[in-house]
Each structure stands twice: as C-alpha cells, then as structure tokens.
Amino acid sequence: MNYVSVIIPYYKKRNYIKKTINSIINQTYKKLEIIIIYDDENHSDLQFIKKLKSQDKRIKLIINTKSLGAGISRNIGISSAKGKFIAFLDADDLWKKNKIKLQLNHMIRNNLDISHTDYEILKTYQKNKKIIKARTFVDYKKLLFSCDIGLSTVMLKKKIISRNCQFPNLKTKEDFVLWLLILKKNIKIGSLNKNLTTWRKLDNSLSSSIFQKLKDGYTLYYQYMNFNFFKSFLYLLILSINSFKKI
C-alpha cells in the first residue's frame, strides 16, 4: 500500500483547522501522515495546534523560526515527508472522506505523476456552492491564462519535486508557478472529475490581497516564464479578468 504525506501550512486559521484536520483523519485511506508547518511568529495558536496533534499519532508538527509563507513552508514539509505521494491541503479547506483513496487509485491506474480533481467553492455566509471542473493539462501554454488547478485537490509523486521545480518564494500564485514548472518538464497533469474538496473563499483584506496578487502575477510571467514587460502585463490583465469570472 502506498504511503501518502499530507502537507498543511498553518497561519492564523484557528477557526477552521480542526475541521480540516478531521477531514483527513476521517479519510477511508489510512496509510498517511499529516505534516503541519506552523508558520506564525506569534505562537498564540501553538498550544491549540499541539492539542490537535495529540489526537492522532500520524500528525507531525514543524515550527518555523520565522514566518516564511505558505510556499516555502510546503517545501519544508515535502523535504521531511516519508510518503511516495504528496497531497496538499490548506488549513481552512476540507476533503470528502474518500478523496485520497479515489485519487490515488486514479493516479496508479493511469500512471500519473500528478493529478487534481473537481472542487467546490464555499463563500462565507453563502449556501450555494460553485463547482470548478478539473481538466487534464499537457501543454503549459494551456494553463497560462487561468490557474484552473485547486491547490487542495492536488496529489503528486514526491520524486517530481526538485530544487528547480518547487514552490517559489511568493506570497500568492506560488502554486500556479509550480504547476507551470511541472508542465514545462513535460509532465502531464491528469484530472479526476469528482468533487472531492471544499475550498473556503474567506473574506480577507481585499485591497491588500489584490495588490499582492497583481504583483506576484506579474512576477510569475516576467521572472518565471521569462516574458518581456508588455507580454507579462497583457497576460496579467487576462489572468485577472479570468480570476474574477471564476469567483
């Protein structure tokens, strides 16, 4: 049976993390470890997280000495992971109980190194959920205009992560960069058309997050895709329009 490592960066999600952890513990697939990377210099939630850790021996806790961001924290988690397969889950998202089992079987059956699934968007104070359908990607150019891969739906083989193919040091869009880097290595990103994840759309500081997303989006195209200024700006504009349409 294949071992799966679940990576969760933690930063100020106390109101959600317990349900997130329970959605992993209650998985029908049991051969897994849960790696929480505590990424908050303020340790006010640390005892709470340690209490959660004590409820299941499969939970491991890594405490960053300073806040490094979700992407770098995931890299730290991956480096200490024992699993052949890595699954990502944000600290406020949820999995359906058969998520790992169905996705792992799908990957093995189809000889995939990485896959993602359909997911639902749950907005605060809103009952209706929008479903985002997963698509198979072979050419990175097909993904450039819209990040249509939900991070918390992704499972991959640890072997495809390397020094030149890992989460970059960005506050946002770090997952988008990694998917593009993987595709540029001619690794197909497979899809499983089953809704197995709930992504919470939380009401954060909208103005600051929009500025950060624009900044990181430009960096994605200019630095990581090596586009010139004008092409980077154009792609960023299209990306922003598509992001608003999706939500």
3 state SS for the chain: CCCEEEEEEECCCCCCHHHHHHHHHCCCCCCEEEEEEECCCCHHHHHHHHHHHCCCCCEEEEECCCCCCHHHHHHHHHHHCCCCEEEECCCCCEECCCHHHHHHHHHHHHCCCEEEEEEEEEECCCCCCEEECCCCECCHHHCCCCCCCCHHHCEEEHHHCECCECCCCCCCCHHHHHHHHHHHCCCCEEEEEEEEEEEEECCCCHHHHHHHHHHHHHHHHHHHCCCCHHHHHHHHHHHHHHHHHHC
Domain spans of the chain? 4-203
pTM for this one?
0.94
Q: What is the pLDDT of residues 59-92, one digit of tens each?
A: 999 999 999 999 999 999 999 999 999 999 999 9
Q: What is the pLDDT along the chain (247 residues), one digit of tens a residue?
A: 799 999 999 999 999 999 999 999 999 999 999 999 999 999 999 999 999 999 999 999 999 999 999 999 999 999 999 999 999 999 999 999 999 999 999 999 999 999 999 999 987 666 677 899 999 999 999 999 999 999 999 999 999 999 999 999 999 999 999 999 999 999 999 999 999 999 987 665 444 588 899 999 999 999 999 999 999 999 999 999 998 776 6
Predicted local distance difference test score (pLDDT) of residue 204: 59
The whole-number pLDDT of residue 244 equals 77
| Domain 4-203, CATH | 3.90.550.10
Output the pLDDT for position 125.
62
